[in-house]
Structure 1
Amino acid sequence: MRTIDLTGQDSQGDDQHFESLSWIESGEEPVLALGRIYPSGFRGPPHSHTKTQLWCARHGVVLVSTAGGRWMIPPGHGLLIPAGLEHFSEMISDVRMHSIYVSSSIVVSDVPRVLEITPLAGSLIEELVQSDEKPLAPRRKRLIMELLLDEIGRLPERPLGLPFPGDARLDRLCRHFLKSPDANAGIDDWARELGMSRRSFTRLFRVETGVSFVTWRQQACIFASLPRLAEGEPITNVALDAGYENIAAFTTMFRRMLGSSPSTYLKSRAA
């Protein structure tokens, strides 16, 4: 169990990253815990591991990308990453993270899933990460690991994964949308941009992403807004910039996705 500070390293820090990966792969304990501190803009190299990973953001916002999509991990959440899945990360702000690694036979996941980290799970992970500085008695350590594994199965899933299309033209539009989200973006406008009929566009979009355009648009607006909210920008400004007519409409969609209003969510994350 260890904590690594990468704030003084370059934008990649590949040597330190792969040294940690070697430590993870050779570890024999049922649960391995690792803490890292990243500077804003840090990009981790593409990699995979033979263990299932729960990547938890304690402070800051991170994006994890795979060939099939991007997943945002705001504070108080974690991304369950299947064993063997190649991925890379980008820090949207200064980030303090905790990761745990578990045998894929114990925690099984076929696809990445964003989970809300309960106070209990967060405390258990913190205990394991700090065990280098504050060694745990073997029995206590075993009990913490057993309780944590049980708690992982109870963590609520949150719809913060954003599927991305393989079609190059559609991918370009989706990436542009994330930079300038618009809750009122229309299917006809996107179809016209691609020189397609409305029917052909909607069929292509669902085939490429697995969801409807409207569902993707709603998720993408919240996806793009979270980093700004985490940085402390006023909710009203973020909502209006994302194309919502008023804060009530933004709050309704936010609550539908995250289970609470923006103000309540931000207060709970700060606590």
Structure 2
Amino acid sequence: MTGFSLRYPWPNLDPDDVAAPAIAVRLEVTEHKVEVAEHQHRKGQLVFALGGGVMCRVPTGLWMVPPHCGVWIPGGMRHTNIATANARILFVFIEPGAAALPDKCCTLSISPLLRELMIELSDRGRDDAVRETLLTQMLLSELPRMPVQQLHLPISEEPRLRRIATALAEDPSDRSTQAEWAARVALSESSLARLVLRETGLTFGRWRQQLYLIVALSELSGGASVQQVSADLGYESVTAFITMFRKALGKPPAKYLSDIARDRGAAFVV
């Protein structure tokens, strides 16, 4: 596929055709941002970013994959992955029932131990079946213990809400008011407010801010500067963007990412 370089633990495989309880696959994106066409697997899939930024789009939401987390996509769920330029991604495909994992999409924190287990499994061929089995057993034991993070944008099948979400994802700098968005989808402002709250559990402003956080984390993880991200999101000043980020995640962007790198072992060269 154009824009990707795949590194499988053994060549020419379809993960769904492999009987192993878990299989890890490396993917490296070239210099251009890439979105994989919508697809699904029989196996569940964990998407983990070794470098750069990745987002996963599923029917019910948009999920961010920051450097310290993985997004779990249950088997059979249609999805697409969106990667920043030069991202390095690790996929772990897991047989249904092989581990006690959620039946819904979610973001999981990934410990340094689990990170290294996944990397090691992705580097193994079938030349050492005993070691591969041990790595797989440890991985499947550790993964269900990882805490869930709330780094996603809830989206329903409601067509007007999906239209707004798609437009904002394509142009997050659009600063149209709630009233202006309501007019675009032929609703009153109060009707749109009720629709967003009913379908997502969030107010319109909080829902849009969650999208900003997802886009910001994706771009910052991909190497963009705070100034560039602030401009891309349509903020009038860098200070305003940093204030929003700090209120939402408890730390300014640089501190948040540096703490992730320190705490999760991102300094390892892969």
1:55 to 43, 47, 65: 47
Determine if the alignment matches structure 1 residue 74 to structure 2 residue 66. yes
Structure number with greater CO (CA < 8 Å, separation at least 6) is 2
Contact 2:87 2:222 in 1 (8 A): no
Among 120, 123, 134, which residue is 1:127 paired with?
A: 120
The correspondence of residues 110-121 of structure 1 with structure 2, limited to 5 A, is: 110-121=103-114
**Preserved contact between residue 11 and residue 43 of structure 1 (Cα < 8 Å):** no
Residues in 2 aligned to 1:254 and 1:246: alpha-carbon distance in whole angstroms: 13
Q: In 2, are the aligned partners of 1:183 and 1:218 still within 8 Å (CA)?
A: no
Return the TM-score normalized by structure 1: 0.77
Code of the aligned partner of 1:175: T
Offset of residue 181 of structure 1 = 3.4
Question: Which residue of 1 is the match for residue 29 of structure 2?
Answer: 38
TM-score, normalising length from structure 2? Answer: 0.78
Show the counterpart of 1:153. Answer: 144
Question: Considering only aligned residues, what root-mean-square deviation do their CA atoms show, in Å?
Answer: 3.2
Report the equivalent of 1:191: 182
Structure 1 position 37, deviation (Å): 1.9
What whole-Å deviation, never above 9, does each CA across 1:167-204 have from its counterpart, x for those lacking one?
44443333332344369764334334444333211122
Unaligned runs of 5+ in 2: none
Residue number in structure 2 paired with 1:4: none
Q: How many percent of aligned residue pairs carry the same amino acid?
A: 31
1:254–1:159 CA distance, 2 compared to 1 (3 A): farther
Greater shift, 93-102 or 120-129, is seen at: 93-102
Aligned twin of 1:87 = 79
Amino acid at match of 1:125: M
Change (3 A) 1:233 1:44: closer
| Structure 2 partner of 1:96 | 88
| Contact 2:34 2:82 (8 Å CA) reproduced | yes
Q: Which residue of structure 2 lines up, in the alignment, with residue 176 of structure 1?
A: 167
Matched to 2:151, the amino acid is: L
- Specify the SS of the correspondent of 1:79: strand
SS in 1 for 2:145: coil
* Distance across 2 between alignment mates of 1:183 and 1:43: 22
Residues 255 and 61 (structure 1), Cα distance of their counterparts in 2 relative to 1, 3 Å cut: same
In structure 2, what is the Cα distance between the partners aligned to 1:258 and 1:151?
26
The answer to whether the Cα contact below 8 Å between 1:183 and 1:217 also exists between their aligned partners in 2 is no
Q: Which runs of 5+ in 1 are unaligned?
A: 1-8
Q: CA deviation at 1:118?
A: 1.8
Structure 1 residue 220 displacement after superposition: 0.7
